[in-house]
Amino acid sequence: DDTSDGNGTIYRHAYTGLFAKTGAGVVIKNLTFTGRMYTCMVGETTYVGGICAQHISGAVTFSNLNFSQTMRADGKNVGGKYTDTGGLIAVVAEASNAVITIENCTISPTVTSNVQVASSNVQNIGGAIGGIYKTDNLTVNCNNVTIGSDITLNMQNEAKLGGFISYIFERRNGSSTTPRTITFKNVTIDGASINCSSTNRCGGLLGDIWKDTKVIIGEKQGDNGINGITITDSSVTQNNKSPTGGLIYAASGYWQVNKIAIESLALSGKNASALGMLVNNGVIDGKALYLELTAADSYTINKENTTIDIGSSTVFDEIIATCTGGYSASAEDSNRAVVSIHTSGDKLIMNGTECNTYQNQTSLAKVNKNTRYYYNLDVIREKADSGSFVSDAEKLLLWSVNNYAYGNIKSLFKNPFTDNVIVSGEYDMTGYSYYPIDAPDGTVVSANSRFIFKNNEIELGESGTGNTDNMVRSTSNAASKSQHYLMHFGLFRNVKGSLSVNGVKFAGSTGTTGSDGGVLICGVIGGTNAQNQANVNIDGVILDGLTVSGFSSSTAYAPLLVNKVESFTQFVLSNVSTTAEYTKDGVTAQIATSLIGNAGKTNGSSSNITLVFSKLTLDGRKTALADNDVNTALNEAYNTKNSIFSKATLLDGFYFISGNGCL
């Protein structure tokens, strides 16, 4: 009952904390914070910070603090009012251009929210900072810090919560490119707990949503990652159906992960729709994330002390659950978030017996169709950024990722080709994680270019030495798409506009899904209407021993060069030939069903397809002819002893209804 010195007194403040507001130059150090803070929402915007309710602008430093307050919020928030709660700072003000330093601190608040949120975007709960509002400049340095936030959201409504910073808003000036950077060095997340009942989403041990921010975790020393984030004895629990992030729900910008070590962690969400151990969603509000693991040991998980309890239908990935922004869109389409994983030796092994691709480190043997894994982009980016030598293959990979990536991260992958003209070169993609992309309108493949793909070696190697998770990430299984789906299938996926190919060679091996395949175009050529037609002109293709991975005489559909031609397409193909690579063992094996797959949909509904073929030097013999002289002459002309195709030399089928403009 003693109310002296403010004990037990109820205050009604918009700004609640040791300080209502802080400005530039504030240093708070050598303090211990305990006790309790209780807030009951009464329909007004409320900022509740254990130390500071609102940081206005400039630099603020927290040094040598031990924070373990208990904070609770009840009531109902209506009318779009905000509730921001943070252990150190409730909210960083709009246009603050803040520089926040947190060093040598232990941040272990216990925060419980029972607030009923009547509208969205009104509750931010962070172990250190509740929300960072719209600002174009931001620096957060977190060094030698232990985070042990215990945060519970009991209501089934939207709330943004996370163990460090809950929510980082978009920039004030959408076109600004000034730095917004968070750096973690020697940070331990120990004994932290996120317990969420939201039906919308669930943040993680670091945060909920961080928009357009560069995050650097740890440092790289030689070939190893050091001084990053270590996670021990922590948990994230989702009690409802919403998607969940182990570290963060969603992010955009660039994450450089030099070192994250998960020593002991429990993730639970039996009914959760999705769980990403680092990030759940790599696309948020029209911008995407590029997440880069920079060393072979950048990301380690102690399997014995890490438990994951999710449903059989939960989308799961140890890195990012989705790079598409949802769970039904295709990861093969353009405008996607990008993941790059560093491997020892800076290249992928593609010898057919070994693999050094990412292996799941938990007990869950799940593939994920929503995320694509690239490898060693950090190595190639560093070369390109420094102006040092980049090989032809590396240029092609950079160009493809630049076209594949979301607009806000394209600049991270320097485009070496002007106007989408792939210059003459030796494009040996052995060791590189190349995926076919949708060809930009006006793409040109220059003469005297040779492309080598290794799909067969990738497929075989995935189950070879180096496979430690007993799970094969197939490039071709369309029924259960993996993070490697379509790797080394070929150069392009779909073509909707103009494509010109002039005098190229293809070697190595391409893939087939049973319905898609083709080393030049493995998807579909097709326009949208009579005014927007696809126009593909191919003049000069040399098949230099190219094969289709997994092909056999019983394979029903496995085209070698082009997969499908559909409506509103002008397709011209000329000067196609084979080399002696197909007879180097003295025999010619069948390696594909046909040069091109289907023209027109099989139900005959396609229209306005024009096919023009000329000067195709391809063997059509099923067996040797009786006349030896003629046979010898044909062998020399074709460089083969019989057809390399099992069903047809040119087309698997051409389907159309008379009068539909197909010829």
- pLDDT tens digits along 146-189: 999 999 988 766 678 999 999 999 998 887 888 899 999 999 99
Question: Structure tokens of 384?
Answer: 């390109």
List of the chain residues with pLDDT < 70: 1-12, 42-43, 78, 118-121, 156-158, 663
- The pair phi, psi for residue 38, each rounded to 5°, is -125, 130
Pairing assessment for the beta strands 287-293 and 248-257 based on DSSP bridges: parallel
- The pair phi, psi for residue 638, each rounded to 5°, is -95, -15
Count Cα neighbours of 283 within 13 Å in the Cβ-side half-sphere. 19
User: Which of 325, 349, 371 delimits the end of a domain?
Assistant: 325
Instruction: Judge whether 632 lies within some domain.
Output: yes
Instruction: Judge whether 39 lies within some domain.
Output: yes
Q: Tell me how far apart the alpha carbons of residues 431 and 7 are, in angstroms, rounded to a whole number.
A: 67
Instruction: Judge whether 447 lies within some domain.
Output: no
User: Which of 325, 357, 390 delimits the end of a domain?
Assistant: 325
Q: Tell me how far apart the alpha carbons of residues 366 and 316 are, in angstroms, rounded to a whole number.
A: 7
Instruction: Judge whether 220 lies within some domain.
Output: yes
What pLDDT shows up at residue 439? Answer: 98
Q: Could you tell me the pTM of the whole model?
A: 0.95
Instruction: Judge whether 431 lies within some domain.
Output: no
- The pair phi, psi for residue 420, each rounded to 5°, is 60, 35
Q: Shortest CA distance to 339 belongs to which of 299, 396, 390, 393?
A: 299
Write out the DSSP string of 217-244.
ESEEETTEEES-EEEESEEEEE-SSS-E
Q: What is the distance, to the nearest Å, from the Cα of residue 611 to the centroid of all Cα atoms in its chain?
A: 37
Q: Tell me how far apart the alpha carbons of residues 469 and 361 are, in angstroms, rounded to a whole number.
A: 7
Q: Give the number of other CB atoms < 10 A from CB of residue 636.
A: 9
Pairing assessment for the beta strands 274-276 and 306-310 based on DSSP bridges: unpaired
Using CB atoms within 10 Å of the CB of residue 400, give its burial: 0 to 12 exposed, 13 to 18 middle, 19+ buried: buried
* Positive or negative torsion for Cα 337, 201, 143, 22: positive
Instruction: Judge whether 133 lies within some domain.
Output: yes
What pLDDT shows up at residue 575? Answer: 98
What pLDDT shows up at residue 199? Answer: 78
Q: Tell me how far apart the alpha carbons of residues 436 and 330 are, in angstroms, rounded to a whole number.
A: 13
Using CB atoms within 10 Å of the CB of residue 449, give its burial: 0 to 12 exposed, 13 to 18 middle, 19+ buried: buried
Instruction: Judge whether 22 lies within some domain.
Output: yes
Residue 596's beta-bridge partner residues? Answer: 562, 651
Q: Tell me how far apart the alpha carbons of residues 174 and 152 are, in angstroms, rounded to a whole number.
A: 33
List the domain range (segments joined by +) for residue 627: 489-654
Token pair 């790289």 is found at 220
Q: Tell me how far apart the alpha carbons of residues 115 and 540 are, in angstroms, rounded to a whole number.
A: 68
What pLDDT shows up at residue 53? Answer: 95
Q: Are 360 and 353 in contact (CB under 8 A)?
A: no
Instruction: Judge whether 70 lies within some domain.
Output: yes
Using CB atoms within 10 Å of the CB of residue 275, give its burial: 0 to 12 exposed, 13 to 18 middle, 19+ buried: buried
As for how many domains the chain has, the answer is 2
Q: Which of 509-540 are b and which e, b meaning 16 or more Cβ less than 10 Å from the residue's Cβ?
A: bbbbbeebbbbbbbbbbbbeeeeebbbbbbbb
What pLDDT shows up at residue 113? Answer: 86
User: Which of 290, 325, 360 delimits the end of a domain?
Assistant: 325
Token pair 């600002």 is found at 135
Q: Are 147 and 187 in contact (CB under 8 A)?
A: yes
Please provide the size of the chain in residues: 663
